[in-house]
Amino acid sequence: MKHIYFLLLFFTTVCFAQLTPPNELQTYYSDVDFNKTGLNLFNDLAVTTAFKHTNFISYTPGVWEADKITDEDPINSSNVLLIYGYNDTDGNHVTDRTRSKTLNGGNAGTNWNREHVFANSLASPSLDNTGTNVPPYADAHNLRPSDVTMNSNRGNLKFVDGSGTAKNISGSWYPGDEWKGDVARIIMYMYLRYGSQCFPSFVSVGTLNSTDSNMINLLLDWNAEDPVSSIEDNRNDYHENTSNTYAQGNRNPFIDNPYLATLIWGGTLAENRWNTLSSNEFKDSDFKIYPNPVSENNLNIKTNQLLNVEFFNILGKSILKTHVDSNHSKVNVGQLTKGMYILKLTSSKGSVTKKLVKQ
The residue length of the chain stands at 359
Query: Which residues, 6+ apart, have CB-to-CB distance to 297 below 8 Å?
Result: 332, 333, 334
Task: Name the DSSP letter for residue 196.
Answer: G
Q: Structural domains in the chain?
A: 18-265 (no CATH), 284-358 (2.60.40.3080)
The whole-model pTM stands at 0.75
Angle at 287 between CA 283 and CA 293, to 5 degrees: 115
CB 281 within 8 A of CB 275: yes
The letter for the amino acid at 187 is: I
CB 190 within 8 A of CB 139: yes
How high is the pLDDT of residue 347?
74
Q: Distances in Å between the alpha carbon of 100 and those of 96, 151, 272?
A: 11, 17, 34
Helices (H) and strands (E) counted in the chain, each on its own, are 10, 13
CB 248 within 8 A of CB 55: yes
d(C-alpha 209, C-alpha 220), whole Å:
9
How high is the pLDDT of residue 355?
84
Query: Which residues, 6+ apart, have CB-to-CB distance to 287 below 8 Å?
Result: 301, 302, 303, 307, 345
How high is the pLDDT of residue 285?
76
Task: Name the DSSP letter for residue 266.
Answer: -
Q: Distances in Å between the alpha carbon of 122 and those of 69, 135, 166, 225?
A: 28, 15, 20, 25
How high is the pLDDT of residue 348?
62
Residue 296 burial by Cβ neighbours in a 10 Å radius (0-12, 13-18, 19+): exposed
CA 152 to chain centroid: 22
- Least Cα distance to 94 among 160, 177, 161, 168 occurs for 168
How high is the pLDDT of residue 326?
77
**Which regions in the chain score pLDDT beneath 70?**
1-18, 275-282, 314-316, 348-350
How high is the pLDDT of residue 5?
33
How high is the pLDDT of residue 315?
65
3-state secondary structure of 27: coil
Give me the sign of the Cα torsion angle 188, 224, 228, 261: positive
> 125 preceded by cis ω (within 30°)?
yes
How high is the pLDDT of residue 349?
67
How high is the pLDDT of residue 278?
36
d(C-alpha 20, C-alpha 314), whole Å:
29
d(C-alpha 138, C-alpha 116), whole Å:
9
Give me the sign of the Cα torsion angle 141, 147, 148, 152: negative
